[in-house]
């Protein structure tokens, strides 16, 4: 949630920066300013009335004690008037407060100056590329055909059990999934992240705190009877560990990692680009999260980018990094870098990670602060990244490493797999 002080101090700059997101926020911001003014004025008037009421209550007691009943009665009459005014002001304050929240949650995070203008992922900037896009010699099979030929994944039985987008991994496919999860977690732990195993469901406050609600409610699986949400990423429960917290500056940065299944409805996703593992409703992912100071958050972002880069290098996958444009930038993010790996058989880049700095957008919702050296409570900066999402990594590993001899396992995973090469079934 954007800091209201930014709008009070420089609303024109807020409106200008949101244009990078292709958003004309002038009416929204100006209405928010007006409602904020009403809210603040009502609060001041209410505070003044309550202070006067408290003072009168003390005076009434003293007047009765001193035998001045007539004066005390006049004071009681004044007290009754003040109570009525306080009730009316409280109603006005509640109405203004509700409209204030309805408006402010509609304003996305302000994009960082590095965010390029653009309308969609086609306008994202490629900032780094390593490894060559290639096609294996001979016939390159897509991963969904390889999964069937090598008996690794059963998409049909997953559809029978649950529905499309819920595959069943089996045999070497299940082992490869487990190997990737273990490898990703070990890499994160080695990099100084503390491992957590969070709940897979969160309440409404948690989903609001990290920005999933109300912006992404259509993408989340909602358990109506309990008003709980299946997590779309471990970022949600992990970041909420620190909701309503005041951390010590000397304890920052806080670095967390977690493996979890992730659940996304992905409504409206159709076509060839969602075939196989390309887009699922349930998938596995290892997440990294940092909480740090504003001064250090962009150094932390660079560190997280280097971490993901190192993992992809060890998997020997061609990859590229893109800086998201304003039209593709997530609602809560100030700056995001996506990682994409090359899919040899599909001959296209597949997104496998997003690494984002949210600055104070999440922490303002979460009331996540730290006590600075001068004793002030300051909103922290939060960051998160996929390190990594498994489905498209697995797809690229299968497609890029296929040969007549089988599917080669990268050296980094061989200790987890106990085989160097997956052979065809039967």
Whole-model pTM? 0.93
Pick from 387, 383, 198: nearest CA to 291: 383
SS3 390: helix
Per-residue tokens: 119: 């309308």
pLDDT for res 363: 98
Which domains, and CATH codes, for the chain?
A: 4-104 (1.10.287), 121-422 (3.30.930.10)
Instruction: Determine the Cα–Cα distance for residues 317 and 335; give it in Å rounded to an integer.
Output: 25
Instruction: Please check whether residue 404 is in contact with residue 131, taking contact to mean a CB–CB distance below 8 angstroms.
Output: no
CA 363 from chain center: how many Å? 11
Instruction: Please check whether residue 385 is in contact with residue 355, taking contact to mean a CB–CB distance below 8 angstroms.
Output: yes
pLDDT for res 267: 57
pLDDT for res 272: 56
Q: In terms of DSSP H, where are the helices of 192-289?
A: 204-209, 235-240
The full length of the chain comes to 426
Cβ neighbours of residue 169 under 8 Å, at least 6 residues apart? 152, 153, 176, 177
Cβ neighbours of residue 99 under 8 Å, at least 6 residues apart? 35
Per-residue tokens: 227: 């008003």
Cβ neighbours of residue 270 under 8 Å, at least 6 residues apart? none
Pick from 361, 359, 376, 236: nearest CA to 300: 359
pLDDT for res 67: 67
Q: At what angle do helices 69-104 and 26-65 cross, to 10 degrees?
A: 160
* Dihedral angle of Cα 99, 100, 104, 106, to the nearest 10 degrees: 0
pLDDT for res 395: 98
Instruction: Determine the Cα–Cα distance for residues 110 and 99; give it in Å rounded to an integer.
Output: 21
Instruction: Please check whether residue 172 is in contact with residue 150, taking contact to mean a CB–CB distance below 8 angstroms.
Output: yes
pLDDT for res 79: 85
Run of H or E including 320: strand 319-323
**149-180 b/e (C-beta count within 10 Å ≥ 16 → b):** ebebbbbeebeeeeeebbbbbeebbebbbebb
SS3 31: helix
Mean pLDDT per 10-residue segment, the chain (426 residues): 95 97 97 97 94 86 69 80 92 96 97 97 97 81 96 97 97 98 98 98 97 89 97 98 98 98 77 83 98 98 98 98 98 98 95 98 98 96 98 97 94 94 86
Instruction: Determine the Cα–Cα distance for residues 366 and 205; give it in Å rounded to an integer.
Output: 9
Instruction: Determine the Cα–Cα distance for residues 425 and 403; give it in Å rounded to an integer.
Output: 15
pLDDT for res 108: 97
Q: What are phi and psi of 355, to 5 degrees?
A: -120, 120
């Amino acid at each position: 949630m954007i800091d209201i002080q930014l709008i009070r101090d420089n609303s024109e700059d807020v409106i200008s920066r949101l244009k990078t997101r292709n958003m004309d926020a002038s009416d929204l911001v100006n209405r928010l300013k007006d409602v904020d003014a009403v809210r603040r004025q009502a609060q001041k008037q209410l505070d003044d009335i309550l202070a006067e009421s408290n003072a009168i209550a003390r005076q009434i007691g003293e007047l009765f004690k001193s035998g001045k009943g007539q004066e005390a009665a006049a004071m009681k009459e004044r007290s009754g008037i003040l109570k009525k005014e306080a009730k009316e002001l409280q109603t006005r304050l509640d109405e203004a407060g509700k409209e204030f929240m309805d408006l402010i949650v509609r304003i996305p995070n302000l994009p960082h100056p590095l965010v390029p203008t653009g309308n969609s992922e086609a306008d994202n900037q490629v900032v780094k590329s390593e490894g060559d896009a290639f096609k294996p010699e001979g016939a390159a099979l897509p991963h969904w055909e390889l999964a069937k030929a090598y008996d690794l994944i059963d998409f049909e039985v997953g559809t029978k059990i649950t529905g499309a987008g819920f595959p069943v991994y089996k045999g070497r496919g299940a082992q490869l999934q487990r190997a990737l999860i273990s490898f990703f977690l070990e890499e994160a732990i080695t990099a100084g992240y503390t491992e957590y195993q969070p709940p897979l469901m969160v309440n409404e406050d948690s989903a609001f705190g990290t920005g999933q609600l109300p912006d992404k409610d259509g993408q989340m699986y909602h358990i109506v009877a309990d008003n709980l949400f299946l997590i779309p990423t471990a970022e949600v429960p992990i970041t909420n560990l620190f909701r309503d917290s005041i951390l010590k500056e000397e304890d920052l940065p806080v670095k967390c990692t977690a493996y979890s299944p992730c659940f996304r409805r992905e409504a409206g996703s159709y076509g060839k680009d969602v075939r196989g593992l390309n887009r699922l409703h349930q998938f596995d992912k290892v997440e990294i999260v940092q909480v740090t100071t504003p001064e250090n958050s962009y150094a932390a972002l660079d560190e997280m980018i280097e971490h993901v880069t190192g993992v992809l290098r060890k998997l020997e996958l061609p990859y590229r990094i893109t800086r998201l444009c304003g039209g593709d930038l997530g609602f809560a993010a100030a700056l995001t870098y996506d990682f994409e790996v090359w899919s040899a058989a599909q001959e296209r880049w597949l997104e496998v990670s997003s690494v984002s700095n949210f600055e104070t957008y999440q922490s303002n919702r979460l009331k996540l602060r730290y006590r600075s050296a001068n004793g002030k409570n300051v909103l922290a900066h939060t960051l998160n990244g996929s390190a990594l999402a498994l489905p498209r990594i697995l797809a690229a590993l299968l497609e890029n490493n296929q040969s007549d001899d089988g599917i080669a396992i990268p050296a980094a995973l061989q200790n987890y797999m106990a085989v160097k090469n997956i052979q065809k079934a039967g």
